């Protein structure tokens, strides 16, 4: 469920923005190692934590893909459960209304 408190929503939004923009700013200030460089040849993206070894790179890629799939399945399951509960609630209300209104 989404929180109803606007303060919580604002805090979560601020946290998401900080986690997206924070590392970029720290890399520009050379606090963290830069993982992206741009020159006339194009854009070069490097994964600092993986290095040049093939096996760790494959492991990280595999774990990332599995994490995306598991996360998507979890979100889909939660959405379907909420939709199912909403339908059940509507059917119950319709039944209750039919009991109150004579034909």
Q: What is the pLDDT of residues 38-70, one digit of tens each?
A: 889 898 887 766 666 778 778 888 999 999 999
Higher pLDDT, 34 or 90: 90
Q: What pLDDT is attached to residue 4?
A: 64
Contacts of 37 (CB under 8 A, 6+ apart): 43, 44, 46
Residue range 27-41, pLDDT digits in tens? 889 898 888 888 898
* Span 71-97, average pLDDT: 94
Higher pLDDT, 13 or 3: 13
Per the prediction, the chain carries an average pLDDT of 85
Q: How far apart are CA 75 and CA 42, in angstroms?
A: 36
Q: How far apart are CA 69 and CA 92, in angstroms?
A: 34
Q: How far apart are CA 45 and CA 25, in angstroms?
A: 17
């Amino acid at each position: 469920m989404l929180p109803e408190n606007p303060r919580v929503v604002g805090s979560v939004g601020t946290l998401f923005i900080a986690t997206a923009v924070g590392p970029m700013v720290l890399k520009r200030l050379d606090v963290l190692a830069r993982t992206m460089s741009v020159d006339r040849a194009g854009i070069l993206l490097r994964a600092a934590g993986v290095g040049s070894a093939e096996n760790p790179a494959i492991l990280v890629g595999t774990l990332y893909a599995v994490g995306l799939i598991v996360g998507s399945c979890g979100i889909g399951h939660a959405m379907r459960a909420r939709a199912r509960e909403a339908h059940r609630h509507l059917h119950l209300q319709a039944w209750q209304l039919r009991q109150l209104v004579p034909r």
